[in-house]
């Protein structure tokens, strides 16, 4: 089974995903890293040279390859923060994976992202990080929740504790 992790930038998708995959004894993949490998450049460079629209096309293609190809077997896949904003991507994630929304409050997101916006093209030029996060979350929170089969609140949890909580809940739900 493919478990996908969705949520806003800075919620811990990659770090929690790595721990969750270890606990479940399966591979971990990060969609942004797969895109970078596919294109031979960083996400930030793709945004800078090709624009967000082209990045989203690439993202959709790589997501489809991973979820539809079944070449990986069981795995944990960290999605990009904006992956499920595209309706086709959201439908594919719902159909082909068990999606977990890693929900964090605005305070947690801002704390995790402060000083860590390099490589995050949609945040790098934000004059007020909190306002930018709030604005984007207003648009995305409903999409994340609608796409998810499980919502996991991660505020105040270490990556390991969050992964453990998600794993325990998955084991209950998937039996």
Helix (H) or strand (E) holding 76: strand 75-78
Res 129: pLDDT: 79
Poorest-confidence range of 31-40, 53-62, 68-77, 80-89? Answer: 68-77
List pLDDT tens digits, range 88-145: 999 999 999 999 999 999 988 888 777 665 666 666 666 777 787 888 888 889 999 9
pLDDT (average), residues 148-156: 95
- What span, in angstroms and rounded, lies between the C-alpha atoms of 163 and 166? 5
Contact 148, 95 (CB under 8 A): no
Residues 6+ apart with CB under 8 A from 84: 6, 90, 93, 99, 143, 144, 147
pLDDT (average), residues 61-67: 94
User: pTM for the complete prediction?
Assistant: 0.90
Q: What is the distance in angstroms between the CA of the first residue and the CA of the last residue of the chain?
A: 12
**Structure confidence at residue 164 as a pLDDT band (50, 70, 90):** very high
Residues 6+ apart with CB under 8 A from 18: 28, 76, 159
Question: How is residue 25 written in tokens?
Answer: 């004894």
Q: What is the mean pLDDT of the chain?
A: 90
**Structure confidence at residue 56 as a pLDDT band (50, 70, 90):** very high
Res 117: pLDDT: 59
Res 160: pLDDT: 96
């Amino acid at each position: 089974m493919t478990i996908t992790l969705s949520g806003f930038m800075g919620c811990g998708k990659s770090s929690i995903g790595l721990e969750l995959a270890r606990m479940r004894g399966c591979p971990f993949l990060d969609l942004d890293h797969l895109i970078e490998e596919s294109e031979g450049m960083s996400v930030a460079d793709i945004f800078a040279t090709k624009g967000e629209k082209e990045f989203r096309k690439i993202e959709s293609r790589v997501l489809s390859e991973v979820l539809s190809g079944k070449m990986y077997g069981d795995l944990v896949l960290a999605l990009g923060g904006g992956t499920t904003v595209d309706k086709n991507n959201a439908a594919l994630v719902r159909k082909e994976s068990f999606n977990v929304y890693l929900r964090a409050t605005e305070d947690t997101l801002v704390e995790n992202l402060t000083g860590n916006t390099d490589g995050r093209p949609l945040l790098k030029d934000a004059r007020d990080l909190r306002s930018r996060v709030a604005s984007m979350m207003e648009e995305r929170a409903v999409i994340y929740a609608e796409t998810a089969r499980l919502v996991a609140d991660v505020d105040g949890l270490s990556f390991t504790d969050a992964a453990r909580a998600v794993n325990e809940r998955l084991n209950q739900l998937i039996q």
